């Protein structure tokens, strides 16, 4: 079974309003101001999955500022997943505006209008994870903040993996590179013990730092998806990452529609992995992680 751990879909209504949204959403503008940046619907993703032989795919939301956009896109993602016969796995966005301090409160009181109330409702509606999260774009510090506390609480309380964009600190610039510093991600992972994290784009290079014992310990429950690796790394990154963190923590992701799933699959299959490693990366690890 092939599982794509990282794709993006948008409601047709959002695609139609693309130009207007560019003016109000900085993170969206950083990527989609480029006319060649493709936006896909859930139906287009399902067609791609059929063509490429992909069985399941995580459909991730975006780091919106506008709560109305968050609600609109969450509703679309949850509905698309419910109509897909289990093939689409919904990861939702959450607004952390107005979060209050909850240090020491293991089970915060859920109040109407509180972000925790929305998270509880989204979990009840079928959300399977939260992301793609871009804390730096939304102005909070993942390493130490009330927002980070709420994300850790949500992940633990409702078994929701947290999918984070991770920015490699070196290399060429590109639209959307900014989003989360890897030092903040490592600090959060160390503080949020036991929380399941998926670090996109091979964690912005974080696997290389697991040669440091304290970083290796902090990242024990962190997975790394391969989305957009073809734009960032030499193909030997697969072998390097497996040697550093273990094959069981590598998840194949295409970042569709940034790249076609067929192209991303071909690149992974040509990376020189053993058959058992390829089986794990292309789907076995995600099946176990997501309970498919």
pTM of the model as a whole:
0.93
Q: Which long-range contacts (CB under 8 A, 24 or more apart) does 77-80 make?
A: 77/9, 77/42, 78/122, 78/125, 78/126, 78/127, 80/9, 80/42
Counting residues of the chain whose pLDDT is more than 70, the rounded percentage is 92
Per-residue pLDDT for 153 more than 70? yes
Domain extent at residue 233: 3-290
Tokens of 2: 């092939």
**Model confidence at 112, in pLDDT bands (50, 70, 90)?**
very low
Average confidence score pLDDT of the chain: 92
Confidence of residue 99 (pLDDT cuts 50, 70, 90): low
Q: Per-residue pLDDT for 216 more than 80?
A: yes
Distance, CA of 94 to CA of 254 (rounded, Å)? 23
| Per-residue model confidence as pLDDT tens digits over 255-281 | 999 999 999 999 999 999 999 999 999
What are the pLDDT digits (tens) for 190-205? 999 899 999 999 999 9
Q: What was the pLDDT predicted at 177?
A: 64
Residue 223 belongs to domain with CATH number: 3.20.20.140
Residue 105's pLDDT band (boundaries 50, 70, 90)? very low
| 77-93: pLDDT as tens digits | 999 999 999 999 999 99
What does the pLDDT read at residue 111? 47
At 100, the pLDDT band (50, 70, 90 cuts) reads low
- Read off the pLDDT of residues 15-71 as tens digits, 9 standing for 90 and up: 999 999 999 999 999 999 999 999 999 999 999 999 999 999 999 999 999 999 999
Cα 136 to chain centroid distance, Å, stands at 15
E strand intervals along 177-247: 197-199, 222-225
Q: Based on the structure, what is the number of domains in the chain?
A: 1
Per-state percent for the chain, helix, strand, coil, to nearest 5: 45, 10, 40
Q: Cβ distance 158 to 128 under 8 Å?
A: no
CA distances from 198 to 10, 11, 133, 187 (A): 21, 24, 10, 14
pLDDT at 170: 74
């Amino acid at each position: 079974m092939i599982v794509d751990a990282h794709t993006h879909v948008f409601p047709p209504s959002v695609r139609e309003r693309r130009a207007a949204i560019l003016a109000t959403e900085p993170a969206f503008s950083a990527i989609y101001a480029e006319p060649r940046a493709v936006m896909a619907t859930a139906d287009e993703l399902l067609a791609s999955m059929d063509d490429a032989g992909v069985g399941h795919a995580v459909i991730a939301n975006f780091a919106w500022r506008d709560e109305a956009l968050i609600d609109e896109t969450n509703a679309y993602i949850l509905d698309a997943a419910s109509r897909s016969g289990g093939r689409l796995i919904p990861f939702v966005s959450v607004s952390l505006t107005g979060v209050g301090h909850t240090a020491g409160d293991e089970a915060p009181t859920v109040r109407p209008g509180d972000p925790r109330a929305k998270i509880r409702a989204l979990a009840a509606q079928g959300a399977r994870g939260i992301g793609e999260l871009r804390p730096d774009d939304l102005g909070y510090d993942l390493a130490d903040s009330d927002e980070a506390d709420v994300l850790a609480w949500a992940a633990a309380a409702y078994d929701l993996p947290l999918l984070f964009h991770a920015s490699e600190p070196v290399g060429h610039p590109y639209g959307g590179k900014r989003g989360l510093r890897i030092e903040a991600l490592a600090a959060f992972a160390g503080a949020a013990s036991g929380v399941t994290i998926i670090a996109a784009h091979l964690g912005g290079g974080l696997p290389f730092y697991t040669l440091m014992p304290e970083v290796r310990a902090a990242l024990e429950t962190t997975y790394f998806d391969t989305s957009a690796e073809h734009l960032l790394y030499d193909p030997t990154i697969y072998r390097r990452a497996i040697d550093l963190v273990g094959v069981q923590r590598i998840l194949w992701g295409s970042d569709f529609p940034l790249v076609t799933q067929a192209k991303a699959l071909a690149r992974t299959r040509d990376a020189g992995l053993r058959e058992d490693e390829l089986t794990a990366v292309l789907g076995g690890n995600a099946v176990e992680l997501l309970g498919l």
